[in-house]
Amino acid sequence: MTIEKIRDLYDAKPFRPFLIHLADGRSLPVLHREFIAHAPSGRTMVVYQPDDSLNIVDLLLITDIEIKPNPSSPAAGS
């Protein structure tokens, strides 16, 4: 995964929550843009959770990003 892809999700207006899937099988929800921060090198990022826990993620270990449906879209209710 590239930092550019993460930045596109971060900058999306409106922001849409997404799930980061990792090579070890874990999934990390990103509920709001304020819950992620990336290192200046672009190699790692920090994902915060509502309970103040955090994960430091190597971007090379991200296998997939799942974007959650927009709750206000008509397809979200079907």
* Euclidean distance between CA atoms 64 and 61, whole angstroms: 9
The pTM assigned to this predicted structure is 0.80
Q: What pLDDT, on a 0 to 100 scale, did the predictor assign at position 6?
A: 86
Q: What pLDDT, on a 0 to 100 scale, did the predictor assign at position 78?
A: 46
Q: What pLDDT, on a 0 to 100 scale, did the predictor assign at position 57?
A: 95
Q: Residue 22 is encoded by which pair of tokens?
A: 């990792």
Backbone angles phi and psi of 49, in degrees to 5: -115, 160
Per-residue pLDDT of the chain (78 residues; tens, 9 = 90+): 678 888 899 999 999 999 999 999 999 999 999 999 989 888 999 999 999 999 999 999 999 999 977 666 555 444
Per the listing, tokens 């826990």 go with: 53
Is the bond preceding 17 in cis, omega lying within 30 degrees of 0? Answer: no
